[in-house]
Amino acid sequence: MQSTNILIVDDEAAIAKMIKIVLQKEGFTQIYTAETAAEALAVVKQQPIDFIVLDVMLPDRSGFDICPELRRMSNAYILFLTAKVSDLDKLTGFAIGGDDYITKPFNPLEIVARINARLRRQAAAPTDNLQITAAVKKTFYSCSRFSVNEQAGELVVDGKVVPCPAQVFLLLLHFCKHPDQVFSKTQLLEAVWGMDSYVDDNTVMVHIRRIRERIEEDPGKPKYLVTVRGLGYKLVKEKQQ
């Protein structure tokens, strides 16, 4: 735990302090705090961060607004804190690079539970790292238009490296390891997020769309990652070399 770097981004000092104290009691020592979006971006530029607890409502910019920038700089697991509970808000968070969310008011032990669940997943599956580039298996998957390098944590499309958030990469990697096999949303949630995850079916749909936006020539008419009506999704084997 001691080597896990956590960033808390919240302009309410009392909330940030409460979260920090609880995390410290649970054995986490590398904890950074930021009260504004600008401070959060500065920390991520300077420090390798594994988890970001990101409040949606910040004084200078919203958490939703800076999430894509954080994602470009880091593969950290991003957990939103939000008072907005509509499905639209959830999907917005996932679509721009967030991995999970907690609604206010909340018990800080919920954050500890999410982090510990993620760490258990990391320990159980060596390739499911918080920093994708730390993957240890030397495996390479190639399709006619794109390739996935598990060791390097890279997605290459038409000869160019395409940025890919951690969970999007892991979901695509799962499909690459099981070509032409149909997976239901539940199976994908269990395989990529884990049984103890708090995410739901909408998460899978959003991440499927994000994969298609990267690998398909026309995401609206996918040729590689296709929907099997009533059953789920599969990566079409015939497109692989």
Q: pLDDT tens digit string along 124-182?
A: 554 443 343 333 344 678 887 888 887 777 888 988 888 888 788 889 988 988 889 99
Q: Angle at which helices 166-177 and 201-215 pack, to 10 degrees?
A: 80
Q: Show me where the domains of the chain are located.
A: 5-124, 132-239
Q: What number is the average pLDDT over the span 25-42?
A: 93
* pLDDT, position 240: 41
Asked if the 132-239 domain carries CATH number 3.40.50.300, the reply is: no
- Write the CATH number of the domain with boundaries 5-124: 3.40.50.2300
**What burial letters (b/e) apply to 83-103, b meaning 16+ CB within 10 Å?**
ebeeeebbbbbbbbbbbbbbe
Residue 212 has pLDDT above 70, yes or no: yes
* pLDDT, position 123: 66
Q: Which percentage of the chain shows pLDDT scores above 90? A: 32
Lowest-pLDDT range of 44-48, 191-195, 196-200, 218-222: 196-200
Residue 239 has pLDDT above 50, yes or no: no
Amino acid at 143: C
* pLDDT, position 104: 79
Q: What number is the average pLDDT over the span 76-104?
A: 73
